[in-house]
Amino acid sequence: MASTSFFDDPDSLVNKSLKGLALADPGLIVDLPNKTVLRRSTLISDKQKKVAVVSGGGAGHEPGFTGYVGPGLLTAAVSGSIFASPSSEQIQRALLRIAPCTAGVLVLTMQYTGDVLNFGLATEFAQSRGIDARFLTVGDDVSVGRRQGDKVGRRGVAGTILVMKIASALAETRRWPFIHSRSPPSDGLVELGMGIHNESGTARVARSSPDLVKCMLNQLLDPRDQDCHFLDITEGSEVVVLVNNLGGLSQLEIFAIAEEFCSQLESAWNLRVVRVLSGSFLTSLNGPGWSATLLKLVSTGLGPEASMLSLLEAPAQSVGWPSVNIKSRIQPCEALDDPVTDAVALHDTVKASNLRVDLQSASRVLRAGLDRVVSQEPEITRFDMVVGDGDCGVSLKRGAQAVLATLSGPEIPDDVVLLVDRIATAITTSMDGTSGAIFAIFVNALVNGLSQLDVPEGGAVSVQHWAAALAFALKRLQRYTSARVGDRTLLDSLVPFVETLGHTLNMRTAAAAASQAAEATKHMKPSFGRSVYLGNSEQ
């Protein structure tokens, strides 16, 4: 946090800010325990249901995203701590809260690993509960080129706000690139390509506004830059420009920067700027910098009344969106006491299947494997201290112990969907970090896969059932990570296991394939995680 903050406790600051937001807009309701802002009209309306748009992310980027909740914009937004993604459980509760009041949910988030995994996991959870939820990520940062972003993809930044606005306007009808510039020490240079969490930039260039804008436009539009050129555009094309204040610049400067940016677009690139949005749309606390986004206007295929421009200009009302017409009145913040927990137990929201498991055999097999994980924690931690953050062993141990505790609990169901759902909940609530999110996504998707099996006759779950559901879960997991076989991740053993099981329908053969594949990772070059940055001797 900035040294000039008037608040010593970051968590208290986030909660107070959410309450203050509701004071500024009486159309909002705040679920404070889950740091979620919801549109009041959606929860109480008896009109025709519409598609809901839900987003969120770490605090510190205001007005993104809680400041965009309102008519014509987001239905709900979930906030994390400062610069930290909200947990999947927070997001799950938001989706369960609004689902009965909507005709489906679009979950939209920026392309950052924590956001993608946690919002993706919540989407899988919602789908396993029969909610029509769809997932969309936005990555629009051209400063992360093809070489650097080969696996992880481009970061999501202020272009996300334009996508959000267009999607939200479509939802209201009931139908279903940019660069950062952050000022470094006063040496006449600025850093180009910084991320909104202060990630390092790609270059240091002259501070002069005309030269800086020229450099940025070259990176955005020059087709000769094969690494960072993502936007194909021809002379005479119509564009929308968004100039975003990262939090520390005056309006005087932002308007001047917007003028320079548009002037060069028209004079040097012969593009037609039809709309300009300037101001604080997605900040980085009080970051002394700015970003610029170009939106190329193309046909939506939905007719002139649903063109990209008309959707951007469709009526909308929220604290964060420009030209808001809110009649603010001071009233006590209405905070919800965890409405989902009070209304329904999470386990009760998943439907039972017709498939049964032998609880005694299942418990024996699971306990053997889980006990092995717990006993190996020191060894896993030792290795992870070298090639990771040192938390992998502890996280795996917590997950294993949570599942063991679940198996020892009362009234363990013999229905396979209900049993795996209990295990998924234990993993989701006990494991953190990237690996925890990946395990949670996979097991929650397994619940979904088992639920979709067509087994009207019921009976005992078979290896064929497991093979089909595991293949479904693997496909879903690969939506949320670009890691593949050969990248030296847990997918190197998971994929052979699932694929071998599908071919052979033999668990022992599949387990042997997974073990062999895990051994092979010793000689692989890493493509994900901290080990990417280590030298060969450290690996």
Residues with catalytic function: 197
Number of Cβ atoms within 10 Å of the Cβ of 175: 10
How far is the C-alpha of 122 from the C-alpha of 439, rounded, in Å? Answer: 13
Q: How far apart are CA 516 and CA 508, in angstroms?
A: 12
248 DSSP 8-state letter: S
- Give the C-alpha separation, 266 to 35, whole Å: 43
Count, in order, helices (H) and strands (E) of the chain: 17, 14
State the Cα–Cα distance between residues 263 and 46, nearest whole angstrom.
48
DSSP string, 109-151: EES-HHHHHHHHHHHHHHHHTT--EEEEEE--BTTS-TTTTTT
Check: CB of residue 447 under 8 Å from CB of residue 440.
Answer: no
Collect contacts of 58-61 with beta carbons under 8 A, ≥24 apart. Answer: 58/82, 58/83, 58/84, 58/85, 58/86, 58/114, 58/115, 58/197, 59/13, 59/14, 59/17, 59/35, 59/83, 59/84, 60/283, 60/284, 60/285, 61/196, 61/282, 61/283, 61/284
Q: What is the largest CA-CA distance in the chain?
A: 75
Cα–Cα distances in angstroms (integers) from residue 430 to residues 87, 93, 395, 426, in the given order: 12, 17, 8, 6
Q: Where are the beta strands (DSSP E) in 462-509?
A: none
For 202, the enclosing helix (H) or strand (E) is none
Give me 402's structure tokens. 């949570």
Q: Nearest-CA neighbor of 486 among 526, 453, 449?
A: 526
Strand-pairing partners, residue 290, are: 181, 245
